[in-house]
Amino acid sequence: MTLSIFAEAVASQTAINGHKGSLRPLTGRLSQRVLAVPPSGIRKYFDIAASMEDVVSLGIGEPDFITPSPILQAGIRSLQHGQTSYTSNSGTYALREAVMQMLQRLYGGPAYDVERELLITVGVSEAMYLAMQALLDPGDEVIVPQPCFVSYTASVLLAGGTVVDLPTYASDHFTIRPEAIRAAITPRTKLLLIGFPNNPTGAVMDLDGMLEIARIAEEHDLLVISDEIYDRLVYGDHRHIMFAALPGMARRTIHLGGMSKDYAMTGWRIGYAAGPADLIGAMRKIHQYLIMSAPTTGQEAALAAFTDPAVEAYVRQMVESYDVRRRLIYTGLNQIGLDCFEPKGAFYAFPSIRATGMNEHEFCERLLVEEHVAVIPGSAFGKGGEGHVRCAYAASIEQIQIALERMARFVHRHG
């Protein structure tokens, strides 16, 4: 009996597989939303690099540390204690409260309502996607200063919105010109998306610049999404400014942050969104159907990152270590003739490669093939990135030194 049911199933499967009816090309059936998103300009170089030996990669925007031990242990402990079920859709209350307290302690952040104004997400990536899905209707415009993290424009397009490019320039150290925002505003503008410290440039904005942006947001009644995932990774005399902590901004800003960079926790997939209850509520509605709740183990580990006093020393050490490498790469690039402004945040340097006479694609391809060094073309991050490359310095000092030697040889040969 069982065997005959099995035989029938196999027979019907064969009929499906062997069906001779027509099949229109599947790509022709993809949604316009998906087709509107260009493929990431970063992948290609990783694929070439992966097929070569002896490559020094300054390509990957990911900490080269493993997660600090107290955080790691908290994650392991939570598993050993059997914390393997979903949490509340919003994330654990303890973690939301810890996020709010951390933002207040470090940046004078708003007194968010922990129940209604905070959401724990699967990284800033999910939070960004949710924010766009919650806010945009087709044709709504989002002003996106560029170059910027690759998923900003993708998230806008996937939500049916329109990206309004706002190039930033090396001559301004890739900060935003307030008058450029004013010029980009139209009756369809719904959102301004900012991200400082910046990926890919390493740029930061000072208080005056941020206040100017806040003034424009107020004047034009704009909502602002501020991606501050690199908030702890700032150097020299720069102090991070939380945009939502500026006067009047909490009620119009969705603040995004996460564990990936500051705490070397990319694989744990934890981020958070904080903002007005109506907006966070709408994001939570999508999140509960899409995700249910962010990874439980990651949430327990993230809680330790904010509440275990032993963690701070690890963060300081990581920041100091990035700072040493930052100075090494920034001086090294300038010495070999690749003009680079001083990056004061994240772990990226963004030198100009114009001295070589090549465009950024040719530079990256030839550097990889001739000298086995992987860097990313600036234009992969949008307008304003032309003529530049992104060098991530979350690599060992030795690797950075080798990369600089090889780049010097390359520039000498082609400069």
Q: Residues in the site for ligand PLP, rule: CB under 6 A? A: 61, 123-125, 149, 195, 199, 227, 229, 258, 260, 266, 271
**Least separation in angstroms between CB 291 and ligand PLP:** 13
Contact assessment for residue 102 and residue 306, using Cβ atoms and an 8 Å cutoff: yes
Reduced to 3 states (helix: H, G, I; strand: E, B; else coil), residue 154 is helix
Closer Cβ to ligand PLP, 125 or 168, answer by number: 125
**Least separation in angstroms between CB 224 and ligand PLP:** 15
**Least separation in angstroms between CB 28 and ligand PLP:** 32
Closer Cβ to ligand PLP, 306 or 410, answer by number: 306
Contact assessment for residue 39 and residue 380, using Cβ atoms and an 8 Å cutoff: no
Which candidate, 155, 202, 184, 192, places its Cα nearest to that of 325? 202
Closer Cβ to ligand PLP, 380 or 404, answer by number: 380
Q: Which two tokens stand for residue 59?
A: 């390509």
How many residues comprise the chain? Answer: 415
Which candidate, 206, 239, 250, 234, places its Cα nearest to that of 111? 250
Q: Which two tokens stand for residue 27?
A: 């790509």
What's the rounded Cα separation, in Å, for the pair 174 and 387?
A: 13
Which candidate, 324, 327, 320, 329, places its Cα nearest to that of 391? 329
| 359 φ/ψ angles, rounded to the nearest 5 degrees | -85, 170
Closer Cβ to ligand PLP, 68 or 258, answer by number: 258
For residue 197, whether the previous peptide bond is cis, meaning omega lies within 30 degrees of 0, is: yes
**Least separation in angstroms between CB 348 and ligand PLP:** 9
**Least separation in angstroms between CB 154 and ligand PLP:** 12
What's the rounded Cα separation, in Å, for the pair 301 and 338?
A: 41
Which candidate, 115, 149, 103, places its Cα nearest to that of 280? 115
Closer Cβ to ligand PLP, 258 or 332, answer by number: 258
E strands within 94-171? Answer: 118-121, 141-146, 162-167
Closer Cβ to ligand PLP, 296 or 356, answer by number: 296
Closer Cβ to ligand PLP, 227 or 371, answer by number: 227
Closer Cβ to ligand PLP, 241 or 408, answer by number: 241
**Least separation in angstroms between CB 267 and ligand PLP:** 9
Closer Cβ to ligand PLP, 145 or 195, answer by number: 195
What's the rounded Cα separation, in Å, for the pair 237 and 38?
A: 38
**Least separation in angstroms between CB 413 and ligand PLP:** 32
**Least separation in angstroms between CB 148 and ligand PLP:** 7
Which candidate, 12, 76, 35, places its Cα nearest to that of 296? 76
Q: Which two tokens stand for residue 192?
A: 């301004």
**Least separation in angstroms between CB 405 and ligand PLP:** 27
